[in-house]
Structure 1
Amino acid sequence: MKLKMGISKLLTVFMILTVVISIAGNRVYADSYKVVTLGGNLTNSQKEDMLKYFGVSRQDADVIEVNIDEEKKYLSDVASSDQIGTKSISCAYVEPTTGGGLNVSTHNISWVSSSMIKNALITAGVKNANVKAAAPFTVSGTAALTGILKGYETSSSGSKIDENKKKVANDELMTTGDIGDKIGKDKAAGLMNDIKKQVVQDKPKTEAGVKKIVENVTNNYNINLSDGDINKITSVMNKINGLNLNFGEIQGQLNGVTNQLKDKLSTPEAQGFFSKIGNAIKSFFANIFG
């Protein structure tokens, strides 16, 4: 009898634990509710293809559309009409999470890189989310950030983002892209990230102080940029400085971008290091087989 009572109690405890775990699991799902934004100018077939690519259906994700007017709202002051285009094509998958930082990937996005998007999201104040920017065919991706931010705000776990932060984040994205055309996307993302890190930490009192940081970090990268490029970077960094971002809160995110870009040899220091290793290896084999 005692054995039967013991087994009965164990079964009861097991059932309770099962219910608790099930409830907890549902709460985690609710906290990370998924949103997909679709370019308003896509065909119905293309929209369905994008949902399949993101691995969601209209039943398990909030699906919304982004139109060209929304894109122009944030890009018209920082991008040319050619860069903006006339149609809304870019799509995004956004899943806010309770931890894990920002995980960003791209598909069929040619001009904007995942690191550039990640940098802009940090500026906008997004801390934790799984993000995918994509399109059914190759596009520049200049408007991807607009869809991502709209998706984040729409999700149950996201929050309203200050309009000024949105504009500055888009300005940063476009400026990085313009610089990337000259020095490469990854190096440009690393440069902008390092400058931002210094600006947010030091909080210069004047635009001249911001420009000094821009010039110093650029010199450390051993790259030649025109006065116009320096002024363009200074302008957006001055706006970022005006957002009064908390360095302690975003330091980990900024360092995360730095670490991510190290693998892509975005800094001259990394390039020099691996170049030396490469030369040493070549010399080693030359001595063996020479």
Structure 2
Amino acid sequence: MSRNSIAAMILLVIAVLVFVPFGWSGQADGANVVVTYGETTYNNAEYKNIVDNYFSVNNAKETVITAGDVNQISSGISNRNYNSNQIFSCAMVDLSSKNNIRIDVDSSKITLVTPSMYKSALDSAGISRGYVKITSPVAATGESALAGVMKSYEESTGNVIPQEVKDAANNEIYTETEIVENTGASADDVAKIMTEVKEQVASQNTTDRQTIINIVNNVVNNYNINITENDINNIVDSVQKTQAVKDQAIQYENQIVNFVNSSEGQSIVDSIMNFINSLFGRVGSSGK
């Protein structure tokens, strides 16, 4: 190999190290992605194809959320029970980025739960990193999708979310959707109320019920929402559940951060080394 060829190769490698965007994995095949399908969607080839086209990712790890999974959560929260023909919502989670969580919801199919509602609930579960996309092949409220999102995180990281944390996050989603339905308020306003209440409760580090009731009333007064005493009590119940599991949620958040940091760094190194190896291979096999 000539000195000029070696010099050119070194310059190319330096260019790669400088210009490859941080966080780029060099893969478009879903190596860092988990897709969770509602079982109704997974068992219908047409529905699954619609979802796969929306997510536009190849070779992602696949998992299925069943009616039994959803009922295990919802039965103790909303007393709703679903059958195997009712679980449509699907979620994609990509943990290849170190950025704060980003949530995209297909509003043409998910009719009730909004990105801000998912974000608030995921925050309660200690989930603050990654890229989340949620859709359904047919119109769906989106409540059951949260169970799928959390299952995707478990599959991605290999770390199980404590059941109490899952229950608190799902309780929050169901509480918010119930208030939206009861009051006619916008879903985003309800999510903002919940977030503000949680922040104030956390800053005061309180579990006292009357104190939390006062916080809820003060926050709600800033919004033009007619809310019942029952709804206020449901918010208080939800926030108390969140407070009760906050230490477990923080532990899970640390596990995600550690996973993202380690996998991200390795992904970048692998991408650069693959490029360098392929470059050496091409140069070595070129004409002399």
Fold equivalence (TM over 0.5): yes
Q: State whether residues 38 and 66 of structure 1, in contact with CA within 8 Å, keep that contact through their aligned partners in structure 2.
A: yes
Equivalent position amino acid for 1:70 in 2: D
Task: Describe the SS at the equivalent of 1:193.
Answer: helix
Partner in structure 1 of residue 35 of structure 2: 36
Q: CA deviation at 1:34?
A: 0.4
Equivalent position amino acid for 1:161 in 2: I
User: 1:197, 1:204 → 2: CA distance?
Assistant: 11
Choose 106-115 or 205-214, whichever is displaced more. 205-214
Q: CA deviation at 1:149?
A: 0.6
Task: Describe the SS at the equivalent of 1:122.
Answer: helix
Q: CA deviation at 1:30?
A: 10
> Any idea what the Cα deviations from partners look like across 1:58-105, whole Å, max 9, x if unmatched?
x2x1011111000111111112426x5652111111112442211112
Task: Describe the SS at the equivalent of 2:113.
Answer: coil
- Is the aligned partner of 1:218 residue 2:217? no
> Any idea what the Cα deviations from partners look like across 1:26-65, whole Å, max 9, x if unmatched?
48889971011111122122112211110023x2x10111
Q: CA deviation at 1:15?
A: 5.5
- Is the aligned partner of 1:189 residue 2:186? no
Equivalent position amino acid for 1:72 in 2: N
Cα 1:28/1:164, change in 2 over 3 Å? farther
Equivalent position amino acid for 1:14 in 2: L
Cα 1:244/1:63, change in 2 over 3 Å? closer
Task: Describe the SS at the equivalent of 2:170.
Answer: helix
Please give the residue correspondences for 1:236-247 in structure 2 after superposition, counting only pairs within 5 Å.
236-244=238-246
Partner in structure 2 of residue 140 of structure 1: 141
- Is the aligned partner of 1:131 residue 2:128? no
User: 1:175, 1:12 → 2: CA distance?
Assistant: 59
Please give the residue correspondences for 1:74-153 in structure 2 after superposition, counting only pairs within 5 Å.
74-81=73-80, 84=82, 87-107=86-106, 108-153=109-154
Q: CA deviation at 1:25?
A: 5.0
Q: State whether residues 95 and 130 of structure 2, in contact with CA within 8 Å, keep that contact through their aligned partners in structure 1.
A: yes
Instruction: Structure 1 unaligned segments of length 5 or more: list them.
Output: 251-290
Task: Describe the SS at the equivalent of 2:139.
Answer: strand
Partner in structure 1 of residue 231 of structure 2: 229
Structure-1-length-normalised TM-score = 0.74
Q: CA deviation at 1:141?
A: 1.1
Q: State whether residues 28 and 57 of structure 2, in contact with CA within 8 Å, keep that contact through their aligned partners in structure 1.
A: no
CA RMSD of aligned residues (A): 2.9
Partner in structure 2 of residue 171 of structure 1: 171
Comparing both chains, which one has the higher relative contact order based on Cα–Cα distances under 8 Å and sequence gaps of 6 or more?
2
Task: Describe the SS at the equivalent of 1:125.
Answer: coil
Number of residues paired by the alignment?
Answer: 240
User: 1:31, 1:243 → 2: CA distance?
Assistant: 32
Q: State whether residues 25 and 96 of structure 2, in contact with CA within 8 Å, keep that contact through their aligned partners in structure 1.
A: no
Task: Describe the SS at the equivalent of 1:101.
Answer: coil
Task: Describe the SS at the equivalent of 1:132.
Answer: strand
Task: Describe the SS at the equivalent of 1:137.
Answer: coil
Q: State whether residues 74 and 80 of structure 2, in contact with CA within 8 Å, keep that contact through their aligned partners in structure 1.
A: no
Partner in structure 2 of residue 273 of structure 1: none
Q: CA deviation at 1:151?
A: 0.7
Q: CA deviation at 1:224?
A: 2.7
User: 2:154, 2:26 → 1: CA distance?
Assistant: 19
Q: CA deviation at 1:227?
A: 1.0
Partner in structure 2 of residue 180 of structure 1: 180
User: 1:185, 1:128 → 2: CA distance?
Assistant: 22
Equivalent position amino acid for 2:231 in 1: D
Partner in structure 2 of residue 56 of structure 1: 57
Equivalent position amino acid for 1:124 in 2: A
Equivalent position amino acid for 1:36 in 2: V
User: 1:133, 1:66 → 2: CA distance?
Assistant: 13
User: 2:158, 2:238 → 1: CA distance?
Assistant: 25
User: 1:34, 1:119 → 2: CA distance?
Assistant: 22
Cα 1:226/1:126, change in 2 over 3 Å? same
Q: CA deviation at 1:121?
A: 0.8
Q: CA deviation at 1:186?
A: 1.5
